[in-house]
Amino acid sequence: MSRKYFGTDGIRGTVGTAPITPDFVLKLGFAAGRVLSAKAASAGQVSHPTVLIGKDTRISGYMLESALESGFSAAGVNVLLVGPMPTPAVAYLTRALRLSAGIVISASHNPFNDNGIKFFDGRGEKLSDAIESEIEAAIDQPMQCVASADLGKVRRLDDASGRYIEFCKNTFPSSLSLRGVKLVIDCAHGASYHVAPPVFHELGAEIAVMGHEPDGFNINSGVGATHPQALAERVIREQADYGVALDGDGDRLIMVDRSGTVFDGDQLLYAIVKDRLRHVSVEAVPGVVGTLMTNLGFEHAMHRLHIDFRRAKVGDRYVMEMLKETGWLLGGESSGHILCLDQHTTGDGIVSALQVLAAIVRFNQPLAALVQEFERYPQTLINVPMPAGADWQKAPGVTQACADAQKQLAEQGRLLIRPSGTEPVVRVMVEARHAALAQSTAQAVANALRRL
């Protein structure tokens, strides 16, 4: 359904530009509070609903947190504040404390001058489209503060970090240890800076830490899951076994081995699947969900393991939806969003890293050896400028070029054409077993688009 403010992962934008402004966020808190209060009343709950608000380390988080908590309080909703905390930590705490909702102030892997608001329901899962639409409708209604006696109370939850650290540790098999493993943990100067290092250290690993000195402006800047080269250099310098790179809000994971080789989300998910098959049960992995951007080599690798594989639209939200539809437990994106629903209700970079490390320990093999059967196909991506509204899908030259490309690729490659959601371009992506075939096929389709 069409929505005005909510995207695939909450509401996001540049700070100071609508909708990421204090006045809008105040209205958003009030609107969400009214929707939650109405649902509580319909369920026969007399007491105030309670929500939990966390944030990453952006300087704008202070401003938006104040506006959001004011809006909820004005709607008669109690608020628990946890300060800087990873997105998956907010999901966990919301569920563990039996709260009505959890809210994260974060723009994930974006630079510091962006920010956003995303919601979790009481189960620790992202809000449904229907509830987001209700909140959007309420935003446009006039604000009318509840009576003073009915205002929501606001307080801090002081032990939030400790609770989440213990939760993460409990997702690592109790029979295993990380003793003898040296790790470099890159927290991206983000929300995981104070919780990720203790998790790995308390499980026995020797650790070095980077990206753990946030100043409000340096989140994701040259570090973290979106810039793994800095971690690769540090791992080599430290002579560590592995590097763990998180993004600014802690829900993505990229890893590096001692040679500096970078492993993306597809490869890490493959290691987890392989471990579940060998050390849990074949029944534990009836199928795996990827996205339209998941490497074709991953799909072929799943078929060799006799695992069903399906593609969702790009975005971990859609991976989650397909996992719910199928009843499967594992899915993810190449970017490092990995969902292990047998461990958590949402993507969690720390938890995902622990699943990969458990596989390494149980197989007693390095990560490169674990994923060597997964052959990543070379990929070519070309962005073709395209005016908004251009009907390129039905242009005869384009349809013929696509048909020719599919014939050339056969089962040895894949063509994907999709309009960008943020730029006036059409993205042409081709994967093939051989790089030259990927390049020539993508170029032929791009040229057909350029001729329009």
**CA quadruple 60, 65, 68, 70: dihedral positive or negative?**
negative
Distance, in Å, from the CA atom of 352 to the CA atom of 192, rounded to the nearest integer, reads 14
Exposed (0-12), middle (13-18) or buried (19+): which is 91, by Cβ within 10 Å? buried
**CA quadruple 339, 341, 346, 351: dihedral positive or negative?**
negative
User: How does residue 391 score in pLDDT terms, banded at 50, 70 and 90?
Assistant: confident
Distance, in Å, from the CA atom of 230 to the CA atom of 224, rounded to the nearest integer, reads 8
Give whole-number Cα distances, 42 to 32, 37, 39, 45, in Å.
15, 9, 5, 7
Tokens of 201: 């250290």
Question: Structural domain boundaries of the chain?
Answer: 11-158, 164-244, 265-370, 379-450
Average pLDDT on 173-187 reads 98
The three-state DSSP-derived secondary structure of 122-143 is CCCCECCHHHHHHHHHHHCCCC
User: How does residue 186 score in pLDDT terms, banded at 50, 70 and 90?
Assistant: very high
Instruction: Tell me if domain 265-370 and domain 379-450 are identical in fold.
Output: no
User: How does residue 362 score in pLDDT terms, banded at 50, 70 and 90?
Assistant: very high
**265-370 is classed CATH 3.40.50.300:** no
Model confidence, pTM: 0.93
Distance, in Å, from the CA atom of 223 to the CA atom of 60, rounded to the nearest integer, reads 20
200 within 8 A of 179, measured Cβ to Cβ: no
Amino acid residing at 209:
V
In this predicted structure, the answer to whether residue 422 has a pLDDT above a threshold of 90 is no
Exposed (0-12), middle (13-18) or buried (19+): which is 283, by Cβ within 10 Å? exposed
User: How does residue 2 score in pLDDT terms, banded at 50, 70 and 90?
Assistant: low
332 within 8 A of 270, measured Cβ to Cβ: no
Q: Which of 436, 377, 380, 443 is nearest to 412 (CA)?
A: 377
In Å, the largest CA–CA distance within the chain is: 71
Active site (catalytic) residues: 108
Beta-sheet strand order (sheet of 379-385): 379-385, 425-432, 413-419
Distance, in Å, from the CA atom of 450 to the CA atom of 95, rounded to the nearest integer, reads 50
In this predicted structure, the answer to whether residue 269 has a pLDDT above a threshold of 60 is yes
Give the count of beta carbons closer than 10 Å to the beta carbon of residue 329: 18
Residue 388: per-residue pLDDT: 79
Q: What is the pLDDT of residues 277-325, one digit of tens each?
A: 999 999 999 999 999 999 999 999 999 999 999 999 988 989 999 999 9
**Helical residues (DSSP H) of 212-282, grouped into ranges:** 228-238, 265-279
Kindly provide the b/e burial profile for residues 355-393, where b requires at least 16 CB atoms within 10 angstroms of the residue's own CB. bbbbbbbebeebbeebbeebebbbbbebebebeeeeebe
Average pLDDT on 146-155 reads 96
Average pLDDT on 352-364 reads 98
272 within 8 A of 340, measured Cβ to Cβ: yes
In this predicted structure, the answer to whether residue 332 has a pLDDT above a threshold of 60 is yes
Distance, in Å, from the CA atom of 349 to the CA atom of 195, rounded to the nearest integer, reads 12
Identify the CATH class of 379-450.
alpha beta
In this predicted structure, the answer to whether residue 404 has a pLDDT above a threshold of 90 is yes
Exposed (0-12), middle (13-18) or buried (19+): which is 64, by Cβ within 10 Å? buried
Question: What does the radius of gyration of the chain's CA atoms come to, in whole angstroms?
Answer: 23
Interacting residues of 1 by C-beta distance below 8 A, sequence separation 6+: 129, 133
**11-158 is classed CATH 3.40.120.10:** yes
Domain 164-244: which topology? Answer: Alpha-D-Glucose-1,6-Bisphosphate; Chain A, domain 3 (3.40.120)
Query: 286: cis peptide before it, omega within 30°?
Result: no
